[in-house]
Each structure stands twice: as structure tokens, then as C-alpha cells.
Amino acid sequence: MKKLVIVGAGFAGLRLARRLKHQPLEIWLIDRNNYHQFQPLFYQVATSGLEPSAISFPLRKVFQKQKNIFIRCAEVKQVNTTAQSLETDIGPITYDYLVIATGAGTNFFGNERIEVNAMPMKSVSEALYLRNSILQNLEQALITTEPERSALLNVVVVGAGPTGVEVSGALAEMKKHILPKDYPELDFTKMSITLVEAAPKTLANMSEDSSRKSKEYLEHLGVKVLTATQVNSYDGETVQLSNGEQIFSRNVIWAAGIKGNMLPGLPETVVVRGNRIKVNRFNQVEGLANVFALGDIASMVTPAYPNGHPQVATVANEQADNLVKNLKNLLNGKAFQYEFEYSNKGSMATVGRHLAVVDLPFIKFQGLLAWLFWMFLHLMLILGVKNKILVFVNWMWKYFTFDQSLRLIIKPYHKKKN
């Protein structure tokens, strides 16, 4: 039986493994975590809206009834395409077919000072760290004086894509409805939430109507939106902007860009812009017939997408489905015949209560209907009935009470050494 190794249990890796359930393959699924993370709701963990367990699902639970899969929690250190093996922190793993679905991480665009001091949000653990940091800074603000208190209260979000817009809106609602009750000693009229975007508009990849409306919604919630503005530097206390403005803040959230999580050992010729892997229309890595890349890490040039596909879950899922069809052909001794063609189902973002924007291929709408549509779709996409119920109950509780009791500072345990 041939051995298929999938590196990464994100949307693409998970879907591929599940869709190959009845195929004559020995499937190894490798991920550094033992759970799948629902990335679109990381911002709700970071803003105390959801617990990490509500948007995470154990991999072994997913595959309890799938007998042809082997799960390993490991980190891949090196790929050897000649020997068809992976060097991992649990030892070597060989393969007949390799699928790289490692996703993407935060791109700081080479600014090491910002990378050291700003907070990313590309994993559950980073979202939890962000939550801890914001809450701890609020606690610290109680026992300090100006101007340090302003820096502890102020929040700067860099990047006005869906993540930046959503986290800015969630923080603005916390500032309005929750934080004054938790911290009556603090004056939250002095707390600023600033969203900084280098492009001329928010949600640059969405329609003009959605971009304009999202900016209106944010400003209605009290967020200061700065477009056509870059962050030049951040030393942990002061944000230097390209327009000459300075913002004192201990809370800088970096949502400005992503880059592929590359595996060392691949030929340099296949690494392209954005740290992505160049693939053909069958998701085969260029020059490597038995190595494939899916999702955010893959860069596929098509007539409709000359610069590669957007790095979103729908692309990852559709590429996984397409590869399943081609692998079935391969196992039956046939050639690949299904070229990938992305069916763009639209995009959306939520800003706050009753405030969202949705762009579908056939219609665009905003407001309450868009907000309900956003919630329904995300609820359906979450794995597991229990997780769906947890998220729904949390959302309903927050809707009717304007509150959420998840503002816990959970610090990592450090065992004392003799």
C-alpha cells in the first residue's frame, strides 16, 4: 500500500485526509498540534468572546473511525525529495506521496523591531497570548500613572483586511459595553483604538461598497481608521507612522500580511513571492511529480488568477477536493485529468453587532442581514456538534447580555528547577 504523508492539519490537510477515507492509501497526518484550528474566529478568542476549545477540535476525534490514517504530533525540520523522506523532531518519516499544507504565518516584511514587539494572531496560542496581554495591561493601568496609563490602554491594529477589521470592531464593543463595568476606576474615554492600513481603503480585496461601509461601521464604533498610512517602526511603547504621527501603545496587533510556512529542503526554484510554493494546475510542485502543495502555501497561476489564488479557506478546500479526484485516478493507473479552477463564492467580514459586509458573486449586502449570514456560515463551518453548540451559546449570551465572562488571564506554568 502506498504511503501518503500530509504535513499540516489546516483546512486543506484535514479535508484531504477525510476525503481519502476509503482509498487504498496509508495516510500519515503530521502537525505540531493535536488539533485543528478554526482560524476565522481567532480574533474572538483574542477579544474574550470565545474560549480556545470552542474553535479547536482534536484530530484523533475527527479520525476515530478512519482506519487508514496515522496521526503524529511533530515538527518537520527538513524535506529530502531525493530520498522521499522527512526529517522531524520525532525521527525520519518516509513517503511515496507528499502533500504540503502548512498554511501561512505572519509577515512582518523584514522589520525585526516590529516582529519582536508587536503581537500576531495566526494561531490559537497567539490569540490567547494577545488576550492575556491586553487584560494584563488593563490590570497594570490601575496601578500606574500618566502617560504610561495611556500606552497601556491604547490599542493599534495594523492591517485592515478581514482580521484587522474584525478585531478592531470587537475591541471597540468591549470598550463600550464591557470594560467600563470591569474597570470602573479607569476612564475609557481616554482609550483609543486605531486601525492602520497601508492601502487607500479598508478591506481592499472586497467591493467599493463593502470597503466604504466597513469604514463607516468602524468609525461609528469609535475606531480611528487611518488608510494610506504605514507603520514605520514600533519599539514596544511608541508607534511611528508614515504620516509623522506617534501613538503611545503597549498593545499593537499585527494583521498586516501573511507569508507561507515553508519547509526547508525544497528546491529554491519552487519558492516564489510570498514564500509560497509554485505548483501546476494539479497542485503538483514544479519538478516533483509525487509532491503536492495545497492552500495558503501553494502558488498556482491561472488565467483568472495570474498572481495566485487568494489565501482563504475556500481555495484550500476546493484544491483538496480536486486533488482527491486526481489521486483516485493515480491509484487506478490513470493520468491526472482534473485541472484546478477556483469557484469564487465571495467574501465577508463582520465589524460588530448587526454590522457586517458580504460580497457574493451575484449580490452584495451589508448590515443586519450580512451579520446574520456571517454568523450562520461560520457556525456551519466549525467542526463538531459540541463546538457548534458552544459557539452558538456564547454568541447568544453575548447578544442578550452585552457581556461575556471569558476575560481570564491564563499564564503559562513554569516548574521550578532545583
Q: Are 88 and 76 in contact (CB under 8 A)?
A: yes
Phi, psi of 21 (to 5 degrees): -55, -45
Q: Which of 166, 173, 197, 318 is catalytic?
A: 166
| Contacts (Cβ under 8 Å, ≥6 apart) of 334 | none
Q: Phi and psi (nearest 5°) for 249?
A: -155, 140
Residue found by looking up cell 478554526 in the block: 38
Joined together, the cell numbers standing for residue 396 give 447568544
Active site includes 146?
Answer: no
Taking CA 88 as the corner, what is the angle to CA 56 and CA 259, rounded to the nearest 5 degrees? 60
List the grid coordinates of 380.
456551519
C-alpha cell read off for 102:
502548512
| Cell of residue 92, nine digits | 525520519
Q: Is the CB of residue 38 less than 8 Å from the CB of residue 382?
A: yes
Instruction: Report the sign of the C-alpha dihedral through residues 63, 10, 206, 375, in that order.
Output: positive
Please identify every residue annotated as catalytic: 166
